[in-house]
Amino acid sequence: MRTFSTFDIVRLVGTPRERLFDWIARGFIEPSGGKAKGRGTKNVFTLRDLYGVVIFQALVDSGTAREKAAGYYLRWKSNPEDITESDIDMMSYLVFVTCPVGEGKQKKLGIRRLSGKPVYSLSKVDMIFLSDYNSEVIDHLLKGFPGWSEFKVLKLKDAFEQLKRRL
């Protein structure tokens, strides 16, 4: 498994070093491969972490509070589906939703997870990957669940392509 240091993340993503250290110290970003424990040790990030930092930064840059962005970041990291390079190539948009507990259960949403399985329910904080921005799908989601407190669409294709070039 390929791993990355904090300095690799700074170089690849372009996040200022002090900001990344602050995000780690506050618990917004967590290195899955191990957190530095003092002088002479380093944070170890996985590939999923690397893409997660891109997502976290895009959320913050789009005006999302860091605390909420951290929740979405953790959702990205805890996604049980393995995300491959080809999946990332297809990801143009990532939709994050926050809905009341219990909403969305047993209702076919007309969208699919990366694995191809249909989405029948959404958890309190969930994410949906789209290869194209399809306003009909988004409208369907919004009409089906008017109680959602937040619905965030991130265009990530350019950021992901830039990251892949730097890798």
**pLDDT per residue over 66-79, tens digit each?**
998 898 888 778 77
Q: How far is CA 130 from the centre of its chain?
A: 13
Q: Taking the model in full, what pTM does it have?
A: 0.73
137: enclosing H helix or E strand? helix 135-144
pLDDT along the chain (167 residues), means of 10: 91 93 94 88 90 89 87 77 64 62 46 56 57 63 56 75 86
Q: What is the per-residue pLDDT for 101?
A: 47
Instruction: Classify domain 3-166 at the CATH topology level.
Output: Multidrug-efflux Transporter Regulator; Chain: A; Domain 2 (1.10.1660)
8 Å CB contact between 114 and 93: no
Q: What is the per-residue pLDDT for 104?
A: 44
Q: What is the per-residue pLDDT for 108?
A: 47
DSSP H helical ranges for 2-92: 6-13, 17-25, 47-61, 66-78, 85-90
Paired strand residues for 131? none
**What tokens appear for 89 in the block?**
């190539």
Q: What is the per-residue pLDDT for 18?
A: 95
